[in-house]
Each structure stands twice: as C-alpha cells, then as structure tokens.
Amino acid sequence: MRAWPSPAVPRLDDLGTARTPSLFDTASGSVVATSPDGPARMYVCGITPYDATHIGHAATYVAFDLLYRAWLDAGHEVRYVQNVTDIDDPLLERARATGADWAELAERETELFRVDMQALRVLAPQGYVGAVESISTITEMIERLQRLGHAYEVDADVYFSVHADPAFGQVSGLDEPRMIDLFAERGGDPGRPGKKHPLDCLLWQAERPGEPAWDSGLGRGRPGWHVECSAIALEYLGERFDVQGGGSDLVFPHHEMTASEAQAAFDGLRFAQTYVHAGMVGYGGEKMSKSKGNLVLVSQLHDSGTDPMALRLALLRHHYRSDWNWTDADLRRAQTWLTDWRVAVRESSGSGRGAATAPVVHEVREALADDLDAPSATEAVRRWSVATNEGADRSEQGAGDVIRRLVDARLGIDLG
Ligand code: 5CA
Ligand code: ZN
C-alpha cells in the first residue's frame, strides 16, 4: 500500500548527539534500553479503516513518531512497518450498516488517515501493508502452524492453540480469568463450543454468505485479526525486532496472540524485544472509540481551522503512557504556547537574540530519551520561549534557528 509523504527531518549533528532512547516495556514491566543492531525496527499496529482518525489514534501514532525521531537523532536508521486491517468484522459490519462497499469504505478511510497523518507531520512507515494484499503471507503462516500441529479446525474455521507457545502470557502478564474476560470483551470467543481452550484464537474464518473470501490451502475464507500482524511483522522486519507498538487496548489479546502465533510457528523464535503501549485517550469520561461514537476527529478539527501543529502540541503535553481525557481547553492552551514559541523563534533568528539554547537541546534530548517524556521536553521549550519573549535572557544570537530545528526534528512541530 502507499503510505503518505514524510516531512523532511532536520539534522542536529552540529548540536552533539542524542542518547538511544529507553522505553517502558509492558512485558517486563520496566524501562529498558533499546539497542538496535543495525537499523532500529518498529512495527506499530495500524488502523481498521471503517471510520475517521480520532484524537486517540492521533496520540498513539504521534507517540511512536517521537520514537522514530529519537532513534534518528541518536544516529540510527529506522525501519518502520505499519499494517492496515482492511478486512475484519467491524469493517464489514459498518459497510453493511451503511450500504457501502467494504473495499471502498476501507480505501476511503485509509486515504483520510493518510491526509491526517501528513497534517500532523507524522513520519510515514517505509512499509505500509494491508491485510488484503498480504493474504498469501498470512496463509503461509497458518499452514505452517497446522503442519506443526498447533492449529485445529472447529467446523471449517481454523484456531490457534495458544499454549503451543511456552511463552504465552509473557506480553500481558495477566492471569487466565482476566485473559478470558478481556478476550470476550475484545472480539474473542472464549465460549465457542468445540474449541480446545477458551483462549484459542481464530486464524482463518471459513467463507460466510455475503462476505468476501479468498482461496487458499485452508479453503475459501479470510484471516483472523491477530495473525495478520504476526505474519506482516515477520515478513517485513524479521524476528527480534526492536519494538512492537500500539495503544494499551492491544496488550491483550492482540499483542499476546500476535507474538505467540509467530513464536509457535518458528521454534525458538522471539517476536519483538520490547512491547510499547500508548495510554487511552477518552472523551466525556469514556475511551474514545469508533464503536462508542464519542469521537473528536482530526479531520473535523482541521476543517474547522485548527492548526494541526497546535493539535500535535496538545497531544505532546500528555505523557504517551498516561490515560487522559481530551478537552477543548487542551487545544486552546497549546495554541497559546505555539504562538509564543513562534514569536520567540522569529525574533531570535538570524541576527536576533534569544535565551541560551544548549540547555534546551540537552533537556529535550534527555527527556525524550527517557521513555519519550514529551511533557518535560515541551516544558523546556516553553521556558526558553518565556525567557526569550520577556527578555530575561538574550545571550545568544540566532537562538531561534537552533530551537526551530530542534522542535522540528524532535517534536515534529513546524514553527514556520
Ligand atoms: N487494526 C487494529 C490493530 S492491528 C486496531 O486496533 N485498529 S484501530 O483502528 O482500532 O486502532 C488503531 C490504533 O489506535 C491502535 O494502535 C489502537 O491501540 C489505537 N487506539 C484506538 N483507540 C484509542 C484511544 N482511544 N486512545 C489511544 N489510542 C487508541
Ligand atoms: Zn495489530
């Protein structure tokens, strides 16, 4: 699939080097150093394109964009893959409910997502990969699991025996009753008769009347959700890739199942090294979700004249791991900050003078290297803008040129 155009990332080499970032790893429950061996490899779970991008999606993709930028500044190349779940139950349900063609709906919403990501200056993945274009990669993995005896049929559907992976449970660390509850809540079918274990998950769903289906050695049908990400990640990144990412709603079952399917398919394989999860953004006290309909859409804000850079700054004012509620006040505050930053940068560029930049460069880099602490990084820039605008410190000529580059490269905000 085509991704979207990436903005250029200014180089900061003349400002010294950044530390390779550490991240909170859900699986170990601790902050761990990333240590890319060659290019840093990242897989972030993409959208299910049946509705427009909301602030929650935007916050998650901006969080991983910070990681991409952190690796670049630390001198690493980055290989980034993101999927598009362009065939799944919610997409088919929405298409049925609205009388739309499922493939057209998916293409339309994916295109809107591209436009939103571009407006937010999110760096594009080099591999933007749909499930539909990956059917043969996915069926190869399922057939492999079958050959190894790790899959079985219920009616004509194919299930994965989750305990075929001895490491099953290591991503979420949850106990079995909790897993079963979450599985039922999040699209699983723990009670289906004929399954060997309630947590076993669907790999291949046999063709249902009126639904799209593909021919394969498994019969006509379509892939289950989790195996899509197992197969795409291994195909494009290989094993032991650095970061598997997404929102915290994906910890269980999605990332648990994704890892276990890949690990069971290849004996001794380790899927990702680090599992990184963004907190949930709510609106009106509930998780913002397409199914609940309590959405604040990126495109709506944009259409009504919101500067996407103010939106991006509003998102960065929350630590990516925290759960938080969107309010209009967030946006107003971010707009004020952004205006102050722009004034400070403009007035202290070229022959203008502003507050010393070396401490800001250091603080921004250190904050972001420490589990992507964007609130502290933005606070450092704000202190600089206040000192510059109030004239408390005008010790450095051309300070604005440094801060403009820093804020662009590390925070993805264009100060003009
Ligand atoms: N296609 C699957 C992943 S393979 C999926 O979860 N799609 S999604 O459209 O529902 O979500 C896309 C991404 O946004 C996921 O990483 C998800 O964890 C994240 N996300 C969804 N809702 C929120 C929210 N309210 N706050 C933060 N992130 C969210
Ligand atoms: Zn996924």
**pLDDT digits 0-9 by tens, 213-253:** 999 999 999 999 999 999 999 999 999 999 999 999 999 99
- In ligand 1, which atom is closest to the CA atom of 225? 4
CA-proximal residue: ligand 1, atom 12 (nearest) = 47
Exposed, middle or buried, 2 (CB in 10 Å: 0-12/13-18/19+)? Answer: exposed
Exposed, middle or buried, 144 (CB in 10 Å: 0-12/13-18/19+)? Answer: middle
Q: Tell me: domain 307-319+327-411, CATH 1.20.120.640, correct?
A: yes
Q: Residue 403's pLDDT is what?
A: 98
Instruction: Please give the distance of CA 342 from its chain centroid, rounded to a whole number.
Output: 28
| In the block, residue with structure tokens 């019969």 | 219
Q: Residue 25's pLDDT is what?
A: 98
- In ligand 1, which atom is closest to the CA atom of 288? 25
Instruction: Please give the distance of CA 142 from its chain centroid, rounded to a whole number.
Output: 25
For 364-379, the pLDDT digits (tens) are 999 999 999 999 999 9
Count of CA atoms in the C-beta half-sphere (13 A) of 102: 17
Q: Which residues contact 149 (CB under 8 A, 6 or more apart)?
A: 164
Cα of 207 from ligand 1 centre, angstroms: 26
CA-proximal residue: ligand 1, atom 5 (nearest) = 47
**Which residues have C-beta under 5 Å from ligand 2, the single-atom ion?**
45, 229
Exposed, middle or buried, 322 (CB in 10 Å: 0-12/13-18/19+)? Answer: exposed
| In the block, residue with structure tokens 């003078």 | 353
Q: 76 labelled as ligand-binding?
A: no
For ligand 1, which residues put their CB under 6 angstroms from it? 45-48, 56-57, 59-60, 83, 85, 229, 246-247, 249-250, 278, 280-281, 287-289
Report domain extents, the chain: 13-278, 307-319+327-411
And the tokens for 171? 């991503």
Residue whose CB lies within 8 A of the most ligand 1 atoms, among 43, 53, 57, 320, for a mutation test: 57
Cα of 93 from ligand 2 centre, angstroms: 19
Count of CA atoms in the C-beta half-sphere (13 A) of 231: 26
Q: Tell me: domain 13-278, CATH 3.30.70.3420, correct?
A: no
| In the block, residue with structure tokens 């450095």 | 396
C-alpha dist (Å) from residue 383 to 3, 99, 333, 372, 378: 36, 53, 15, 19, 9
Q: 216 labelled as ligand-binding?
A: no
Instruction: Calculate the CA dihedral of residues 164, 168, 174, 179 and round it to 10 degrees.
Output: -40
Q: 57 labelled as ligand-binding?
A: no
Q: Residue 378's pLDDT is what?
A: 98
Q: Which residues contact 233 (CB under 8 A, 6 or more apart)?
A: 43, 81, 241, 244, 258, 262, 271, 272
For 243-268, the pLDDT digits (tens) are 999 999 999 999 999 999 999 999 98
Ligand having the closest approach to the CA of 279: 1
Cα of 83 from ligand 2 centre, angstroms: 7
Q: How does DSSP assign 308-321, residue by residue?
A: HHHHHHHHHTS-TT
Cα of 175 from ligand 1 centre, angstroms: 23
pTM given for the model? 0.97
And the tokens for 279? 């907190």
Q: Which residues contact 202 (CB under 8 A, 6 or more apart)?
A: 157, 158, 159, 160, 189, 224, 225
Cα of 227 from ligand 2 centre, angstroms: 9
What CA–CA distance (Å, rounded) separates 134 from 132? 5
Ligand having the closest approach to the CA of 64: 1
Cα of 45 from ligand 2 centre, angstroms: 4
Q: Which residues contact 393 (CB under 8 A, 6 or more apart)?
A: 354, 355, 356, 387
- Is the distance from CB of 127 to CB of 238 less than 8 angstroms? no
Q: 47 labelled as ligand-binding?
A: yes
Residue whose CB lies within 8 A of the most ligand 1 atoms, among 201, 250, 275, 289, for a mutation test: 250
CA-proximal residue: ligand 1, atom 11 (nearest) = 47
CA-proximal residue: ligand 1, atom 14 (nearest) = 57
- In ligand 1, which atom is closest to the CA atom of 280? 26
Ligand having the closest approach to the CA of 247: 1
Q: How do the pLDDT tens digits run along the chain, 416 residues long?
A: 999 999 999 999 999 999 999 999 999 999 999 999 999 999 999 999 998 899 999 999 999 999 999 999 999 999 999 999 999 999 999 999 999 999 999 999 999 999 999 999 999 999 999 999 999 999 999 999 999 999 999 999 999 999 999 999 999 999 999 999 999 999 999 999 999 999 999 999 999 999 999 999 999 999 999 999 999 999 999 999 999 999 999 999 999 999 999 999 999 899 999 999 999 999 988 888 877 888 999 999 999 999 999 999 999 999 999 999 999 999 999 999 999 999 999 999 999 999 999 999 999 999 999 999 999 999 999 999 999 999 999 999 999 999 999 999 999 999 99
C-alpha dist (Å) from residue 72 to 31, 79, 180, 258, 375: 20, 11, 40, 27, 20
What CA–CA distance (Å, rounded) separates 322 from 24? 12
- Is the distance from CB of 358 to CB of 398 less than 8 angstroms? no
- Is the distance from CB of 203 to CB of 151 less than 8 angstroms? yes
